Amino acid sequence: MAVSMNPTIRRRRLGAELRRLRQASGLKSTEVAERLMVSQPKISHLENGRRAVSPRDVRDLCALYEVRDQQVIDALVEMASESGRPGWWHAYGAIPQSAYIGLETDAASIHTYEPLM
C-alpha cells in the first residue's frame, strides 16, 4: 500500500527552511536543480513538503547554499531523518483522516468552532 501523498508538518517545516536558505543564497530553483543535476520539480517537491528529503540531499543543499553553521546543518539533517519516518497511525492501515492525524500530532494548539454550543 502506498504512503499518503499528504505532506506532514515536519516535511513542510523542513521544506520551508530549505526554501528560505535558497532564497537567502540568491539562487533560483532551476539553478539549484542544474547544479545538483536533478530535476527542477524535485527541488519544488522538497521545498513544498511533498517529497521526503534525505539527509544527503540536505547536506548537498546546505553546501550549495553556503550554510556554514554546523548546528543549523545538523538540525536540518535531523529534521530530514525524522520526516521520513512513518507516523504512529500508519501501523493501523488506511485511516481516512491520516492527513489530519499527521497535522494534529505536530500541532502546538488546536482550535475548534462549535456553532451550536
What CATH number is attached to the domain comprising 25?
A: 1.10.260.40
pLDDT at 90 over 70: no
Split into its structural domains, the chain has a count of 1
Residue range(s) defining the domain that contains residue 33: 9-87+97-104
pLDDT at 102 over 70: no
Ranges of H-type helices in 4-97:
9-25, 29-36, 40-48, 55-64, 70-83
Confidence bin at 63 (pLDDT 50/70/90): very high
20 falls within a domain:
yes
Q: What is the pLDDT of residues 47-59, one digit of tens each?
A: 988 888 899 999 9
Model pTM?
A: 0.69
Lowest mean pLDDT, pick from 17-21, 38-42, 67-71, 92-96: 92-96
What is the pLDDT, as a whole number, of residue 87?
64
60 falls within a domain:
yes
44 falls within a domain:
yes
Interatomic CA distance for residues 36 and 117, integer angstroms: 55
Interatomic CA distance for residues 106 and 12, integer angstroms: 11
68 falls within a domain:
yes
Q: At 94, which amino acid appears?
A: A
24 falls within a domain:
yes
More confident residue, 96 or 15: 15
Interatomic CA distance for residues 56 and 66, integer angstroms: 15
82 falls within a domain:
yes
